[in-house]
Chains A and B, each alone.
Chain A
Amino acid sequence: DAGITQSPRHKVTETGTPVTLRCHQTENHRYMYWYRQDPGHGLRLIHYSYGVKDTDKGEVSDGYSVSRSKTEDFLLTLESATSSQTSVYFCAISDWTGRDYGYTFGSGTRLTVV
C-alpha cells in the first residue's frame, strides 16, 4: 500500500503485556485512523487523529490508547493485552481535501494474544 506502512505485520503476545503498533505515512495527510477487523463485526474504529497531538475516541476505544507526536506516525498501544484484543488491526489515512475522500488503508497487523 503506497504511502502507508504498518509494523509489525504479525505479532504474538502474552496476556497482560503492553503492545504498541505503528502506522507510518509518507502522504502528509492530516487524518489517521486505527480500526480493528473481526469476523461478524466488520471494521470498527478504535481511535483517530486529526493532527499532531489531536486525537479522539472511536466506538471501541476501551483498553487502547494512541499517540501522534509527528504527522507521519500514529501509534496504537494496548496497555495490558487481553485475549479479546486478538484481531487484525488496520491503519488508515485520509486527506479530506478532494471530492472523494476515501481512506487509504495499510496492509494490517495480525495480533494474537495468548
Chain B
Amino acid sequence: EDQVTQSPEALRLQEGESSSLNCSYTVSGLRGLFWYRQDPGKGPEFLFTLYSAGEEKEKERLKATLTKKESFLHITAPKPEDSATYLCAVSFTGNQFYFGTGTSLTVIP
C-alpha cells in the first residue's frame, strides 16, 4: 500500500505559467513532510520541511503548504531552470522516510 502518492507524474508548463504539484499521504501520526528537487544524474536536494497542517514555507518561486492529508508545491512564474523532478517524502517514525515517485516538471521557454 502506497504511503505517499504524487500527482501529476509529469507536468509541462510554459515559462511564467504558474501551477501546483500534489503530494497526498496515508500515514497517521505525521512527524514531517519533506520536499526535494532532483536533477538528472544527481541526488535529491532538500527544499522544505513541513510539520503541521496550515504550515507554509517559501523559497524563491516555490511555496509549500500542508493540510491533514496532502501537501502542495506551488510554482509561481516558473523558469526553465525550475525543470526537475520534485519528490515528496513523509516521516512518521522519525527515522524512516517514505518517498513518492515524484513529479517530472518541464518548463518550456
Q: Enumerate chain A interface residues (CB-CB to B < 8 A).
A: 1, 31, 35, 40-45, 48, 50, 56, 58-59, 90, 92, 99-108
Q: Are B43 and A107 in contact (CB under 8 A)?
A: yes
Contact status B99-A43, CB under 8 Å: yes
What are 21 contact pairs spanning A and B, CB under 8 A?
Answer: A1-B43, A40-B101, A41-B101, A42-B4, A42-B87, A42-B99, A42-B101, A42-B102, A43-B89, A43-B97, A43-B99, A45-B97, A58-B96, A90-B43, A90-B44, A100-B49, A102-B34, A102-B46, A104-B46, A107-B41, A108-B41
Nearest 4 A-B pairs (CB), nearest first? A105-B43, A102-B46, A43-B99, A42-B99
Alpha-carbon gap, A50 to B49, bound state (A): 21
Which of A43, A48, A99, A101 contacts B44 (CB under 8 A)? A43
How far apart are B20's CB and chain A's nearest CB, in angstroms? 20
Query: How far is A50 from B41 in the complex, measured between Cα atoms in Å?
Result: 27
Q: Residue of A at shortest CB range from B101?
A: A42
Number of interface residues of B (CB under 8 A): 22
What string of 1s and 0s marks CB contacts (under 8 Å) between B17-36 and chain A? 00000000000000010101
Within 8 Å by CB of A43, from B32, B48, B87, lies B87
Taking the closest CB of chain B, its distance from the CB of A33, in whole angstroms, is 8
List of A residues within 8 angstroms of B95 by Cβ = 31, 48, 50, 56
**CA A104 – CA B46 in complex, angstroms?**
7
- Residues in B with CB closer than 8 Å to A102 are 34, 36, 46-49
Q: A107 touching B42 by the CB < 8 A rule?
A: yes
Residues of B near A104 (CB, < 8 A) are 46
Q: Please give the distance in Å from B5's CB to the nearest CB on chain A.
A: 10
B45 within 8 Å of A by Cβ? yes
Residue contact B42 to A103, C-beta cutoff 8 Å = no
Contact status A42-B100, CB under 8 Å: yes
In the complex, how many angstroms separate the beta carbon of A60 from the nearest chain B beta carbon?
12
**Distance of A50 Cα from B4 Cα, bound (Å):** 24
Residues of A within 8 A of B32 (CB): 101
